[in-house]
Amino acid sequence: MKPYHQIPIQECGELLVPIPVEQFAVESPHPYQKLGAPYGDASPYFLRQTVLAALIEAQNQLQQQHPHWRLQIFDAYRPISVQQFMVDYTFAEVVQAKNIEPETLSEEQQQEIWQQVYQFWAQPNYDPMTPPPHSTGAAVDVTLVDATGTPVDMGSPIDEISPRSYPNHYASQPDKPYHAHRQLLRDVMCSAGFLRHLEEWWHFSLGDQMWAWLYNQENLTSKQKARYSRF
């Protein structure tokens, strides 16, 4: 379990609604659908109503500073089946990157790789009290595109399993623009009420367990509960 799973959930019953993708930048086909992730009748471009309203506000804040820039939505709602698919896919990717034959993996090697995977991916848990953040409809992975529609260079791709994914990885390298870009993304998202994952520059949430846990770390006298469970 992650530390944020200790946060109690009081499900508010808010609906999962479609993101108006024409207002944002998106990758088509969706990155996980392209890999064969089993969405079935579900769509990755859904969020809870309040979360979507906040995302629209975040883009408004961005465009006040950079007219015609947009948020690019990489991923939003993620069914448990897709979470399981992507966890397994990432495990296989790490094995391949290490040039290890899957059938020769020792127990120790498996544990080491799973530890790497679960540092960046939540476990695909069906327990409604400990859901993966994206399965609540309250988490979104985003980046930036400029006025020409070109992705802004953030220093590493979304979902990379490496220290480059940590939000402050480039903070000590002012000669590179990556940290400033990440700070801009954080500032516009947080201005709308989101909070950022401590180890992923692209992951933001609002109202789920991770959001409440992060909020409570910063506000010791005013505690929040989560309001979104698995959808």
Catalytic residue positions? 200
- Position of tokens 């109690």? 8
Count the helix, strand and coil residues of the chain and give each as a percent rounded to the nearest 5: 40, 15, 45
Which residues, other chains included, contact 50 with Cβ-Cβ below 8 Å and sequence gap of 6+? 14, 206, 207
Q: How many CB atoms lie within 10 A of CB 222?
A: 8
Report the C-alpha gap between 45 and 78 in whole angstroms: 9
* Residue 20: both structure tokens together: 């108006």
Identity at 84, one-letter amino acid code:
Q
Q: Phi/psi class of residue 159: alpha, beta or left (left: φ > 0; alpha: ψ in -120 to 50)? A: left
* Signed CA dihedral, 137, 141, 146, 148: sign only: negative
Apex 167 CA angle, 217 and 10, nearest 5: 40
Count CB-CB contacts under 10 A for residue 68: 11
